[in-house]
């Protein structure tokens, strides 16, 4: 099975979002983190079942929270590049993705 890794930027995205949710209600950040991990589990087994965006990037939708996680995958690794709030400008997504 592939290993799941987060780029430093994606890890920062998730940490920042978790802190924001925890400031609203204790424990909500941990729920977001669990939801992101749960959304990525199917991608570990079958990344090709998620839509391709801009050539080599794929996206999972996080349930219960307005976030998407963008990733690449090969035979060994599923690399999360972004954890992105859906209300943000989509142009930022592709700007950040193309820097990878």
pTM beyond 0.85, yes or no: yes
> For residue 88, which of 74, 67, 62 has the smallest C-alpha distance?
67
CA distance 32 to 81: 17
> Low-confidence residues of the chain, pLDDT below 50?
none
The predicted pLDDT at position 97 comes to 80
CATH 3.30.2310.20 fits 3-97, yes or no: yes
Residue-by-residue DSSP string for 18-48: HHHHHHHSTTHHHHHHHHHHHHHHHHHH-GG
């Amino acid at each position: 099975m592939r290993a799941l890794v987060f780029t430093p930027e994606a890890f920062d995205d998730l940490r920042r979002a978790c802190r924001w949710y925890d400031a609203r209600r204790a424990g909500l950040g941990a729920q977001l983190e669990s939801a992101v991990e749960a959304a990525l589990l199917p991608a570990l087994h079958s990344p090709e079942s998620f839509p391709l965006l801009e050539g080599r990037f794929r996206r999972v939708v996080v349930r219960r929270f307005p976030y998407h996680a963008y990733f690449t995958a090969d035979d060994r690794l599923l690399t999360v590049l972004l954890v992105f709030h859906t209300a943000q400008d989509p142009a930022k997504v592709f700007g950040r993705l193309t820097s990878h």
